A and B are shown apart, each in its own frame.
Chain A
Amino acid sequence: MHGGLKHEDVEAARRDLAGRTLAKIRGDFARLIYLASMRDYNTGEYHHEGLACRFTESVARRAIASCHRDAFRRMVLCSVKELVEELELYAASNCTTASELVRVWEKLQPYRIAVPSECSSLAARFFTSNIRTALAVLQSRQLRAHREALSALPSP
């Protein structure tokens, strides 16, 4: 009985989080990064002040974990082409350029923290491999565009 109630509470908290917060974020990838950022690096527990106030700390924690798993699932199952589009959208919504995103992300690899803790190592490796590839595609596109811009300049 208690478990059933708890499940309903978690579902309500999930809907609340999706409606109030996640709906305002553009792109699945941005949502994934946002959800991962609510996790404490030391304890692995999620925390969201507003959600914990409206529900309870444990219900909020479970709801965020569940949303994080769903967001990760969507991203890990999308194609590299879709991932490239998501990264471009993410860069645009964070007021940065794709080239800046590629430069920083290749160095710091922050996408590694986007993986939920209970995910299989195979899914985690598949995800990071796809992100690295998507970044490489973005970089190739920029190089191509740069070369085309140079060749379009009138020769002295």
Chain B
Amino acid sequence: MSVLAYLLLAAVTILNICLFLSRRGGRRDSDREGFGTGQETSLPGGWGSLASELGARIFDPEDLNFVASETSRQLTRQFRQERTALALDWLRAVRSEVNQLIRAHLRVARGNADLQPADEIKLGFEFLVFQLTSGILYLVIWAFGPPRAAKLVGYSLALAGQLRKVTKDVLPAGHQVAVEIMDSKQEAQS
């Protein structure tokens, strides 16, 4: 019984940390958007697809292995720290995109009379799982570095893709709005 209580306590603690990190990441996104270009979020076409390809590069262990074989331990450590910081920023950008998509969906869903509660619950659940996974991913990247988190990244991205698909299936207008937001953002930037 006491083991179960400890496990429950550990689970609650992990959940709290994930939620804290998740909020922290979200806040940093909004801070960044205040003075940055705000282009980390996926944009249709060129730079948007670059963001996802960049993710694959950041988490690829090939570079770290190469640097470790060619340079000193100190430089390798420095490189790993840089990659960790970049990976965390990349994760924040992905989460910012998903949050934006969900916000756009909610805005459209409020005025839609044909909503299917089951689909909305499914979407809510998937969003929760994504938040949880990305929170854990944040912890894993921070603690062990990007190469060790590579597998979990694939899972998180699959979930993000699933969320995108579900928002599109549940409410095509929601997706349309999200795309319009991103389009107008790109036009403003160009």
A interface residues, Cβ below 8 angstroms from B: 69, 73, 76-77, 79-81, 118-123, 125-126, 129-130, 133, 136-137, 140-141
Contact indicator A133/B79 (Cβ below 8 Å)? yes
Q: List 9 A-B contacts (CB under 8 A).
A: A73-B46, A120-B37, A120-B47, A120-B93, A121-B40, A125-B86, A126-B58, A137-B67, A140-B71
Q: Which of B56-80 contact A (CB under 8 A)?
A: 57-58, 60, 62-63, 66-67, 70-72, 75, 79
B36, CB-defined interface residue at 8 Å: yes
Contact indicator A137/B71 (Cβ below 8 Å)? yes
B51, CB-defined interface residue at 8 Å: yes
B90, CB-defined interface residue at 8 Å: yes
Q: Of A79, A125, A126, A140, which one neighbours B72 at CB under 8 angstroms?
A: A140
B interface residues, Cβ below 8 angstroms from A: 36-37, 39-40, 46-47, 50-51, 53-54, 57-58, 60, 62-63, 66-67, 70-72, 75, 79, 82-83, 86, 89-90, 93, 189-190
Task: Point out the residues of chain B lying under 8 angstroms from A121, CB to CB.
Answer: 36-37, 39-40
The secondary structure that dominates the B interface is: helix
A120-B39, A122-B89, A126-B58 known; A133-B50 Cβ under 8 A: no
Task: Point out the residues of chain A lying under 8 angstroms from B51, CB to CB.
Answer: 120, 122-123
Task: Point out the residues of chain A lying under 8 angstroms from B66, CB to CB.
Answer: 79-81, 137
Q: A76-B50, A79-B60, A126-B58 are in contact. List 12 more A-B contacts (CB 8 A).
A: A76-B57, A77-B57, A80-B67, A120-B47, A121-B39, A122-B86, A123-B50, A126-B86, A129-B83, A133-B75, A136-B71, A137-B70
How near does chain A come to B129, taking the closest CB pair, in angstroms?
25
How near does chain B come to A100, taking the closest CB pair, in angstroms?
20
Closest to A129 in B: B82
Kindly list the 8 A-B residue pairs having the minimum CB-CB distance in the complex, ordered from nearest.
A120-B39, A80-B63, A140-B71, A137-B70, A129-B82, A81-B66, A120-B40, A122-B40
